[in-house]
Amino acid sequence: AQSVTQPDIHITVSEGASLELRCNYSYGATPYLFWYVQSPGQGLQLLLKYFSGDTLVQGIKGFEAEFKRSQSSFNLRKPSVHWSDAAEYFCAVGDTNAGKSTFGDGTTLTVKP
């Protein structure tokens, strides 16, 4: 069965600092991988996705993620964090056969002034 692990429950970074959120997945075939962001009281917004091709994918809001098959990882990065990036971040893996995605438990990002 597919699974997603986000090792960091909570991360705090200073505004302007770089950010990396970790995601590890378990999936038998080529995975479809996603990062979503959720601001308090809101729905989830798709930041970026990977399913083939270039292993470095660019997303919205200045985010990027790198797929590393050898490490079963899909880490999210941003070179300079803004206060508005404070939110909950979810990594997810899509299962075409099952027709649904599995979400990680999420990482809460706090941005210090």
Q: Which residues pair with 4 in a beta bridge?
A: 25
Would you say 30 or 80 has its CB closer to another protein?
A: 30
Q: Are strands 24-26 and 87-95 parallel, antiparallel or unpaired?
A: unpaired
Binder of another protein out of 32, 62, 64, 66 (CB under 8 A):
32
Provide, rounded to whole angstroms, the least separation between the CB of residue 102 and another protein.
9
Provide, rounded to whole angstroms, the least separation between the CB of residue 18 and another protein.
25
Rule CB under 8 A: is residue 28 a binding residue for another protein?
Answer: no
Rule CB under 8 A: is residue 34 a binding residue for another protein?
Answer: yes
- Contacts of residue 23, defined as CB under 8 A and 6 or more positions apart, other chains included, come to 4, 5, 6, 33, 35, 73, 74, 75, 76, 91, 104
Distance, in Å, from the CA atom of 100 to the CA atom of 61, rounded to the nearest integer, reads: 25
Binder of another protein out of 61, 69, 100, 112 (CB under 8 A):
100
Distance, in Å, from the CA atom of 107 to the CA atom of 45, rounded to the nearest integer, reads: 15
Residues forming the site for another protein (CB under 8 A) = 32, 34, 36, 41-46, 49, 51, 90, 94-96, 98-101, 103-106, 108
